Amino acid sequence: MTPAAPMTLGDVFDRWFKLIGASWLRNLILAAILLGPAALVFAVSLDLGFGQILIMDEYDPRNLATVWNFLGWISLGSVIFLIGTVAATVAITITGCAEMSGRPMSWQEALRTTFSLRLARVFGMYLLEFVGFGFLIGIPYALLIGGIAAESFPLGFAGGILIIVSIVAVIYLVINFAFTVPAIAWEQAAVIDGFKRSWTLVGGNWWRVFGILVLMSLVVSFAVSLVMTPLYIVVLWDFFQAYFELFSSLGGGEPDPQIARNMLSSFGFGFGLVNAIASIIQIIVTPLYTVVLYFDLRARRGEFNQSSPLPA
């Protein structure tokens, strides 16, 4: 399946759909193993979090502890979910790369391969990106806020201009570093080498990569919303029932606070569950378009004419 020649846009989509078709079951198993427990913790933490908020009646200093409890549960769920997402991304990238190289890999093998140094490196990569991009966006915001606080027009103006510049810079860098995950997960590159490798691959093809990635992410989010819209109603049935009850009570003057409580109490777990399902669907297709483009860029650099793909 390794592409010997660069792909056209139609070929990229065709390869992507074929890759999804060939590996969806393995990827679904991987996503369920790596993301399932994390998603469950996230859903339970949302449920507990909303449960904490519901016992608050009126303003009371002790309610601050309840709010902290709520935030604590949500943060715990989010962190575990984030870790699961990164692990699933690495595992599915490995499966996709193996498939594209013409050496299909079982989900067990992909799972074993994931839990190695490369997973730690991908975590490091995301951490570096988070810190780097955070600074890039954060500093102009700090300037703007500082300018407003100090009532200094030049400082605020410079901050405003820099925000626009930094957003453009972040987009530029995100595209250039889009293939760091496959470089680390498949080629076993170190973090900095992974960044360099991705930068080299994108070189000369920035606009093409940007266009295709935007197009593919639009297509994925549309497909996910297509599937998830009815699921939201099914899973959050009680929530919507209470919502419409609340809506009806608006006509009769003051809404009943008990209905609002019912609405909130039926929200947490269902919302967490639906989000988890949406994330699992998204994660079994999203890393695969990066994989297809990664192989296309390698073919454009003539890498498959010289030697076989690097081993996993």
Partner 1 sequence: MTVPPPRAESSLPTVPPDPRLDGSWERSTRSLNSSALLALLGIGVLYFNGQSVLAIIAVFAGGLAPSEASGGYFETLLKSIRDLADPLRLAVVLSQYLLMLLPALFLVRRWHSSDVRWYVRIARTPMSEVLLALLATLLIIPSSNFIADELVRQLGIPDELMQIGAELFTARGPMELIWLVFVVCLTPALCEEIFFRGFVQRTFERTMGWRSVVLVGVVFGLFHFNPLGLISLSILGLLFGYFYYRSRSLLPSMVAHFANNFLAVVVLYGNGENSGSSAAEIPLWLVGSTLPLGVGALVWYSHLTARRIT
User: Which stretches of the chain bind partner 1, using CB under 8 A?
Assistant: 10-11, 13-14, 17-18, 21, 215, 218-219, 222-223, 225-227, 229-230, 232-234, 237, 240-241, 244-245, 247-248, 250-251
User: How far is the C-alpha of 114 from the C-alpha of 90, rounded, in Å?
Assistant: 6
CB 303, min distance to partner 1, A: 22
Nearer CB in complex with partner 1: 6/132: 6
Closer CB to partner 1, 229 or 306, in the complex:
229
**Residue whose CB is less far from partner 1, 28 or 220:** 220
Q: Residue 260: how many CA atoms within 13 Å on its side-chain side?
A: 10
Q: Cβ closer to partner 1: 142 or 233?
A: 233
Work out how close the CB of 7 gets to partner 1 at its nearest, in angstroms, rounded to a whole number: 10
CB-wise, 229 or 305, nearer to partner 1?
Answer: 229
Rounded to a whole number of angstroms, the minimum distance from the CB of residue 234 to partner 1 is 8
**261-288 exposure pattern, b = at least 16 Cβ within 10 A, e = fewer:** ebbebbbbbbbbbbbbbbbbbbbbbbbb
Q: At what angle do helices 206-235 and 9-54 cross, to 10 degrees?
A: 40
| Nearest distance, CB of residue 257 and partner 1, angstroms | 18
Contact 53, 70 (CB under 8 A): yes
Phi, psi (rounded to 5 degrees) for 107: -65, -30
Q: Residue 215 Cβ, how far from partner 1 at the closest point, in Å?
A: 8
Show the tokens assigned to 184.
């680390």
